[in-house]
Chains A and B, each alone.
Chain A
Amino acid sequence: MGRLHPRGSASATAATLSTLSSSSSSSHFAAVVEGRRAAAPATGHRKKNTLFSTASTSSDHHDGSQDKEKISVTFVNKDGTEQTISVPVGMSMLEAAHENDIELEGACEGSLACSTCHVIVMDVNYYNKLEDPTDEENDMLDLAFGLTETSRLGCQVIAKPELDGMRLALPAATRNFAVDGFVPKPH
């Protein structure tokens, strides 16, 4: 390793790729997601309501009366460190994370077109307090890394009083690029 070579290598096959990616974690993925089905049904309405209500709340939340109410949410980072923040009722976890410099990605800025704000609800009791994910959210969760039975998109989890004390883990990066041998094409 580290010996100087004159030029970049030329030929390749998928050999390197498959050794890197395939076997190990795919079965894990399958095992973890099995049984999620009960949580899958949905109406398609929530997305809209959620986003609009979020928008209105956040613009009001300086003096609006309902926004005095805040809940406490703890984010567990990839390296295990924790940040507990206070989130106004009505605000999404994605927004709250960004306001507090928590390293939650949000490629599509909450428009339900990516899975980068994937969070894992660490206590199933809290997970059960959430409304079921919509079909659209489930479509995105299909593509999330390290999916678990209590995975959600941060943009779809909206602060409400019952969620006070909730803990959310950011999934650690996985090296499993070919989920289950399945290869979704881009976009």
Chain B
Amino acid sequence: MGRVRPLHHAARRLLLLFPRPRGFSSSSSAAAATPSREPLHVCVVGSGPAGFYTAEKMLKGHQGAQVDIIDRLPTPFGLVRSGVAPDHPETKIVVNQFSRVAANDRCSFYGNVSLGRDVSLSELRKTYDVVVLAYGAESDRSLGIPGEDLRGIYSAREFVWWYNGHPDMCNLAPDLRSTDSAVVLGQGNVALDVARILLRCTSELAATDIADYALDALRGSTIRKVYLVGRRGPVQAACTAKELREILGLKNVHVFIKEADLVTLPADEEEIRNSRIKRRVYELLSKAAIAHKGKNNDGQKELHFVFFRRPTRFLPSEDGVTVGAVQLEKTCLKDDGEAGKQVAVGTGEFEDLKCGLVLKSIGYKSLAVEGIVPNLKGKVLSSETENATVEPGLYVVGWLKRGPTGIVATNLHCAEETVASILEDDKKGLFMEPDSKKQGRRGLLEILEQKNIRFVPFNAWEKIDSKEKIAGELKNKPREKIKTWNDLLMAAN
């Protein structure tokens, strides 16, 4: 963080010198779909990266498109606000681009409007020519092993939402003062994020937009050891080099990697050969193992990479209600038949790892639908069966379309594909049936008024935004987030 921040300010200033309306100037490709009638009414459900990139590409690709973005929260930007780690401010810069999209005359934001509760999908489809579902994955996969309900076990998503001040998780209050060990299950970037937040100097975190209560809790934290547990080996770790490099370079943290775990088999070497990213991740881990070997870790916090272990049950501590240990089964890798893919299988050998906090970072899950919505290049299908039909006017993008993976930029390409599908349908005249005249924004506002829903428009979010920034300035942080639903709605007024 320290290294990058001064740059990002410089860079931002620099780019602000050149405000660019380029997103909305008509371009050669945009001319393809000329509006031959009323506006094309588009509603995007969800205002994270997938939603905003979709809105941007839609506005650019169809000069007659009117895009309304709804979000169940009073605040826009989805996981850029509540998922991206507070010590990654550069990753959040993309909100500048999204704010320019929201400022477009043909785009409106309606926060505090929940699909399902405030407005139904069928209402939206009756109101808009095009409905794009971009509401991501707000739940978690579960391990389904005994003891998972013990106190002190959270999903990484819950923990991330907590330190990022998400209004649904601001009361989580994880106990960080009754144990010296935390176990993180998983070795992807989210796992590395939560481990880094637990280990990083709080003086560094104090300069980020981390929620104030989380900073307080971390200041009082007694956690000295964090274990990152993966079912497979260093070659299969699901993190990226950037995040790994960062956590390996944390100040005052001693890294433990067992040399025996770094031994590669021919199948591993094949994987390394076939993937630049795996090769670079493996190299980083190998280098770190050597660099920390034999070093004295006097008083340092500890980060342990635990490979080839899968959790089989959670064991209670003496009080009977809080987690006290995770039982792990040693694994070995087996070719599962798919080319180049190795899976972990248990060996029947078990060990217990003591801890008082467990963060499960094994994947997000979309609510209401199991996994992802069946779709063809973003066009929603009626089912997964072979004779599935396309749901007219209904599209999907982002995690709901392709599963909970990828970085912010993945949504750019994902949105391009979904918007291309929409434009193709528009060209075919799918939205021009005479009996299907849609009301668009006017219709939505009527529905919201009828139901007495107090929505939060973009300029009200800007009030929240500026209040947060002012509160942050007093503490030398970029912003102090407003955390509760009530306070957010009040700040919007």
Q: Are B369 and A12 within 8 A (Cβ)?
A: yes
Instruction: Indicate whether B427 reaches chain A with its CB closer than 8 angstroms.
Output: no
Query: How many residues of B are counted as interface, with CB atoms below 8 angstroms from the partner's CB atoms?
Result: 90
Q: Are A186 and B392 within 8 A (Cβ)?
A: no
Instruction: Indicate whether B412 reaches chain A with its CB closer than 8 angstroms.
Output: yes
Query: How many residues of A are counted as interface, with CB atoms below 8 angstroms from the partner's CB atoms?
Result: 77
Instruction: Indicate whether A89 reaches chain B with its CB closer than 8 angstroms.
Output: no
Instruction: Indicate whether A109 reaches chain B with its CB closer than 8 angstroms.
Output: yes
Q: Are A4 and B273 within 8 A (Cβ)?
A: no
Q: Given contacts A113-B91, A186-B189, A187-B85, could you give 17 more A-B pairs where the C-beta distance is less than 8 Å?
A: A8-B373, A12-B384, A16-B375, A55-B11, A101-B20, A108-B8, A108-B91, A109-B11, A109-B12, A113-B4, A143-B409, A173-B413, A177-B406, A184-B188, A184-B407, A186-B404, A187-B407
Contact partners of A54 in chain B: CB under 8 A: 14
Contact partners of B84 in chain A: CB under 8 A: 186-187
**Chain B residue with the shortest CB-CB distance to A10:** B369
CB distance from A10 to the nearest CB of B (A): 6
The complex places the Cα of A7 from the Cα of B11 at a distance, in Å, of 47
Q: Are A14 and B374 within 8 A (Cβ)?
A: no
Interface class of chain B by DSSP: mixed
Q: Are A17 and B372 within 8 A (Cβ)?
A: yes
Q: Which one, B15, B274, B389, B414, contacts A5 given CB within 8 A?
A: B389
Contact partners of B273 in chain A: CB under 8 A: 30, 34
CB distance from B402 to the nearest CB of A (A): 5
The complex places the Cα of A8 from the Cα of B125 at a distance, in Å, of 10
Q: Are A114 and B91 within 8 A (Cβ)?
A: yes
Instruction: Indicate whether B403 reaches chain A with its CB closer than 8 angstroms.
Output: yes
Instruction: Indicate whether B304 reaches chain A with its CB closer than 8 angstroms.
Output: no
Interface residues of A (CB under 8 A from B): 1-5, 7-17, 20-21, 27, 30, 33-34, 36-37, 40, 44, 47-48, 51-52, 54-55, 58-59, 79, 81, 95, 98-99, 101, 103, 105-116, 135-136, 138-140, 142-143, 145, 147, 155, 173-175, 177-187
**Chain B residue with the shortest CB-CB distance to A30:** B274
Which residue, A9, A147, A173, A183, has most C-beta atoms of chain B within 10 A?
A9
**Chain B residue with the shortest CB-CB distance to A19:** B376
**Chain B residue with the shortest CB-CB distance to A5:** B382
The complex places the Cα of A143 from the Cα of B84 at a distance, in Å, of 17
**Chain A residue with the shortest CB-CB distance to B394:** A8
Contact partners of B242 in chain A: CB under 8 A: 136, 139-140, 142
The complex places the Cα of A36 from the Cα of B280 at a distance, in Å, of 12
The complex places the Cα of A34 from the Cα of B276 at a distance, in Å, of 7
CB distance from A131 to the nearest CB of B (A): 17
